[in-house]
């Protein structure tokens, strides 16, 4: 299950981030890492992007990137 598959308001723990290079390092710099808790705040109008909260930051990510962040709901 990816971050994009969660509903608005749901929380989960990040299990894997299938990215490399600059995108991965930018997420790491913002505190979005494996093991952190992530919450979906809202989706854009046509679900082309999602606003997430993780490690005291809020960030908007596009659908393609959100689908590469694997999570586990507990």
Confirm whether pTM is higher than 0.75: yes
Q: What does the alpha-carbon distance between residue 25 and residue 5 come to, in Å, rounded to a whole number?
A: 23
* Per-residue pLDDT tens over the stretch 35-68: 999 999 999 999 999 999 998 999 999 999 999 9
Counting every residue written for the chain, the total comes to 74
Cβ atoms within 10 Å of 73's Cβ, excluding its own? 10
Q: How many Å apart are CA 43 and CA 52, to the nearest integer?
A: 9
Spatial contact of 36 and 55, defined as CB atoms under 8 Å apart:
yes
């Amino acid at each position: 299950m990816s971050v994009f598959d969660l509903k608005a308001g749901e929380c989960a723990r990040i299990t894997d981030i299938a990215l490399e290079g600059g995108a991965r390092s930018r997420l790491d710099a913002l505190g979005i890492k494996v093991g952190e808790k992530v919450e979906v705040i809202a989706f854009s109008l046509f679900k082309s992007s999602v606003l997430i909260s993780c490690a005291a930051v809020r960030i908007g990510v596009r659908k393609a990137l959100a689908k590469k962040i694997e999570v586990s709901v507990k």
